[in-house]
Chain A
Amino acid sequence: MTDKYDAIVVGAGHNGLVCSALLAKAGKNVLVLEANDQVGGAAVTREFAAGYSASACAHLLYQLQPEVRKELKLAPKLATEDMTTIALAEDGPHLRITGDQVEGVSDDDAEQYRRFRKRMTRFADLLRTYFNKPPPRLGTKNFKDLLTLAQLGFDIRRLGKEEMQEFLRLIGMNIHDEVTERFDSPLLKGAISLDAVLGTHLGPRSPNTIMTYLYRQAGDHGRASVPHGGMGAISDELAHAARSAGATIRTNMPVKRIVVDNGRVTGVETEGGETFSSYTVISNADPKRTIMDLVGAKHIETGFGRRIHHLRARGNAAKLHLALDGLPSIKGLDKKDFGQRIVIAGDEHYVERAFNPAKYGEFSPHPVIEMTFPSFRDESLAPTGKHVMSAVVQYAPYGLKDGWDDAAKEAFKQVVITTIAKYAPDIEQRITASELLTPADIESEFHITGGHWHHAELTLDQFLFVRPVNGAAQYALPIDGLFLCGAGAHPGGGVSGAAGRNAARTILRREKAA
């Protein structure tokens, strides 16, 4: 069977859905093929134990771009909005951060934090503008590229002399230096460090962790929310938007290969042996999987293949889901606080020490943790009176030295529970079921090479003009008709929809120009 489409999107991750919805809205006959049985990729809600569901990978929404919301008329129902971050202290009062206000620190620190947020917000807004357009290429004479470059230079200059210098100084710097320079409170330093390194294979002393911090703010200024029904609700809404616009979405259709004939794509072949034809194929898969597995290194040139091969994409964030027969008790927290974002990141050294073993292929004996109890505000996720805890846990390196076998997973799970138990001593008695997803699990279950949130590490050498690599930074891969639309493309991961939207716009613009 051979069907002919205007465009085929490989993978119904949230970016694939955004891209297909926008293409379908523009009148294209779009087919989306998803390997798993539900749409959303890593933005899905899954039942992990009978009656208990959680957002399988991404569990907080903080970057969904206003442009995407507007163009696709999204109005997600939110269970929790504008969450407060509570950084747990082993003894003494916890720290509470809401917007640019922080409680539980000295007046000096509170004032410093306000100033820090003001500057970061300004820089994040600058970056956000460029997240919503294809990055300009360097070294070309293309007028549009030169214009965007000039605009970027102008926008940085327009920050004013002092702020421009600060921007250029900070963008490549590590978050550790910045927080130790500004703040006294260890908890505050730890909480900001955690925000900078979540989802990366970076510690707070790694270069460009200020950039990764800014990246998180480049949406809703870092304000986190939780959709009602979990992250899958966003994907379902996107899928609905795509279907209403005329796109066909088929699940349980893993793509085996992207067919290339004489230097251009002609369609895809599924594992089931079906072929679908199109001269435009858009991959929501990560760049490595797209090129090395789906296209095949033979169809690309050596230099490009080498760059893709050397992309750094080794995930380090695990996901732990607990089914609880009731809320645990955390000293110093009220019941209503369980609707907030709770982090364990003792101080700035705690975060860096957690990262240390990961460099050598070992998991953290004292991990950093970002916890939410989504069932607290959303009864659809757990039986009445019962609860779900969803946590991002670092560091759990993809390339664990001895591999992620059951024993290693069990050991790490125990480490995480023990860590939480320091603050919530009764947590262990409350657990009725659990699920740990290591980066290796995320790779096999969600088809993301290395199990990395961003498909490719978010570092300056894989950012903006050179994301994922030089020669593919504007969504088009060096095979005619083949595009990327996922987190591996500019600007990167997180449930933002920016990559999917930019890819769709690029494809439509190219078509117009041709």
Chain B
Amino acid sequence: MKHEPVHQGRLKSPFHSRLESLDTVNEWHQWKGYSSADQLYCSDTEYFAIRNATGVFDLTPMTKYRITGPDALDYLNRLVTRDMAKVRPGRVAYAVWCDDNGQVIDDGTIFHLREGEYRLCSQERHFAWLKAATLGFDVTITHETEDVAALAVQGPTSYSVLSKMNLEGLEELKPFGLMHFDFEGSELMISRTGFTGDLGYELWIDPDKAEALWDALFEAGELHGIRAIGTTALNMARIEAGYLAAYEEFLPADETIRTGVSRSPLELGLDWLVDFKKPNFNGRRALAEEKRNGSAWRLVKLDIEGNKEAHHSYIFSNAKARGGQIGFVTSAVWSPVCKQNIALGTVNTPHGKPGDTVWVEIYYQREMHWNRKMAKATVVDKPFWFPPRRGATPPGPY
């Protein structure tokens, strides 16, 4: 029996050579076994590439599963809370999946690649759960993270960049749509999806063609301000877009030890993703009960006064902190593009309704000395960043 050699140490993405050649700071972290850049030169500059031009992020380490077989649709419909029957071939769905207790295991995107053939993408690995869920379904789950190289191409000029790459029909691609193209004899799948809340695309290709795709992309983008970006810049953008991140806004329920530390979709503002009209899906009974009895937590988007970032702050219902804390901040950033001090947080109900005023306790350091500030914050309903170009089809040139 022939054994594949076991890879020692961190994996390198098929784009690694290109990232490495652009890298000037050597700041990397580990993401599901891969080296992934925090930043390549300056996270602020990289951030502005996303908001003003085009940022390119290597999302190869993103977990990818291929789901095929006659029962693929029924399987997914039982797995996730939304109705997948409405997601036609060539469409992508943001989805969340729960355990039997209605607690979120992870969120991600499901690509309906072709009739009955799906790809599920998420930050975390879930093979054990997905496999357990196949019981009684004629469906095959294939882990294909290493078999697909992927890039996020995000920002106002992203369409202009890609339009130079001879991708016929791309202008018709609507948000949450996907198309297949030929790239040097390989299939290039492009979806109009992303994690930045702006106009943007994700490119999916055979790892052998990864470097060629990168080179073609950067050549096309040269006059459109294209830049490679790292995770720090991307994270700023995703907070502005109000997107959730596992281990920030929620813990994967199957990783928790204590009760009460996981979150349901209803507690994460994802009510719109839970379709109780479906007869059965994981968590349905528990979520129906939660809907009847009320949730314990609510995810809030906070517009905070001042400019001190509210990392890990406690949230209070009043400036005097009477009655104890009602929650805490999960992600915070000063938003350069919105010129706002923003945060995502989790608070106990009934607090945190849109329009409510809450107070966040911010600790910040100035010349070694710590300072405390109670900052007033308003709960807002809409994402902080939601430009009209994100939804425009065809997207305009920039």
Stretch with Cβ within 8 A of A (4 or more), from B178-186, B225-233, B278-286:
B278-286
Are B279 and A305 in contact, with the CB atoms below 8 A? no
**Smallest beta-carbon distance A399→chain B, Å:** 19
Are B133 and A302 in contact, with the CB atoms below 8 A? yes
- Tell me whether B79 is interfacial, beta carbon within 8 Å: yes
- Tell me whether B338 is interfacial, beta carbon within 8 Å: no
Are A301 and B279 in contact, with the CB atoms below 8 A? no
Task: Pick the most buried of A260, A262, A303, A304: most chain B CB atoms within 10 A of its CB.
Answer: A303
Contacts of A471 in B (CB 8 A): 100
Are A292 and B136 in contact, with the CB atoms below 8 A? yes
Task: Pick the most buried of A298, A304, A478: most chain B CB atoms within 10 A of its CB.
Answer: A298
- Tell me whether A306 is interfacial, beta carbon within 8 Å: yes
**Smallest beta-carbon distance B231→chain A, Å:** 31
Contacts of B281 in A (CB 8 A): 301
- Tell me whether A309 is interfacial, beta carbon within 8 Å: yes
Contacts of A421 in B (CB 8 A): none
- Tell me whether B99 is interfacial, beta carbon within 8 Å: yes
Are A303 and B99 in contact, with the CB atoms below 8 A? yes
Interface size on B, residues (CB 8 A): 20
1/0 per residue, CB under 8 A from B, across A401-442: the answer is 000000000000000000000000000000000000000000
Contacts of B135 in A (CB 8 A): 292, 297, 302, 305-306, 309
- Tell me whether A296 is interfacial, beta carbon within 8 Å: yes
Are B285 and A302 in contact, with the CB atoms below 8 A? no
- Tell me whether A300 is interfacial, beta carbon within 8 Å: yes
Are A297 and B136 in contact, with the CB atoms below 8 A? yes
Partner of B137, one of A139, A297, A303: A297
Are A305 and B136 in contact, with the CB atoms below 8 A? yes
Residue of A whose beta carbon sits closest to that of B259: A139
How far apart sit A304 and B281, CA to CA, in the bound complex (Å)?
12
How far apart sit A292 and B101, CA to CA, in the bound complex (Å)?
21
**Smallest beta-carbon distance A288→chain B, Å:** 11
Docked complex: B270-293 residues within 8 A CB-CB of A: 279-285
Are A301 and B100 in contact, with the CB atoms below 8 A? yes
- Tell me whether B303 is interfacial, beta carbon within 8 Å: no
- Tell me whether B206 is interfacial, beta carbon within 8 Å: no
How far apart sit A263 and B279, CA to CA, in the bound complex (Å)?
6
- Tell me whether B398 is interfacial, beta carbon within 8 Å: no
Are A301 and B283 in contact, with the CB atoms below 8 A? yes
Are B136 and A296 in contact, with the CB atoms below 8 A? yes
Residue of B whose beta carbon sits closest to that of A480: B285
Contacts of A305 in B (CB 8 A): 132-133, 135-136
Given contacts A471-B100, A478-B285, contact A300 B132 (CB under 8 A): no
Task: Pick the most buried of A139, A292, A297, A304: most chain B CB atoms within 10 A of its CB.
Answer: A297
**Smallest beta-carbon distance A18→chain B, Å:** 29
Residue of A whose beta carbon sits closest to that of B130: A302
Residue of A whose beta carbon sits closest to that of B105: A302
Partner of A299, one of B79, B101, B132, B280: B280
Docked complex: B95-109 residues within 8 A CB-CB of A: 99-101
Residue of A whose beta carbon sits closest to that of B75: A298
Are A298 and B284 in contact, with the CB atoms below 8 A? no
How far apart sit A309 and B129, CA to CA, in the bound complex (Å)?
14
Are A303 and B282 in contact, with the CB atoms below 8 A? yes
**Smallest beta-carbon distance B127→chain A, Å:** 13
Are B129 and A301 in contact, with the CB atoms below 8 A? no
- Tell me whether B376 is interfacial, beta carbon within 8 Å: no
Q: Using A263-B280, A306-B132 as known contacts, list a sample of 15 further A-B pairs with CB atoms less than 8 Å apart, ordered by residue number in A.
A: A263-B285, A292-B136, A296-B136, A297-B136, A298-B78, A298-B136, A298-B280, A299-B279, A299-B280, A301-B280, A302-B132, A302-B135, A306-B135, A309-B135, A478-B100
Closest 3 CB pairs of A and B: A297-B136, A303-B100, A302-B133
Chain A positions near chain B (C-beta within 8 angstroms): 139, 260-263, 292, 296-306, 309, 471, 478
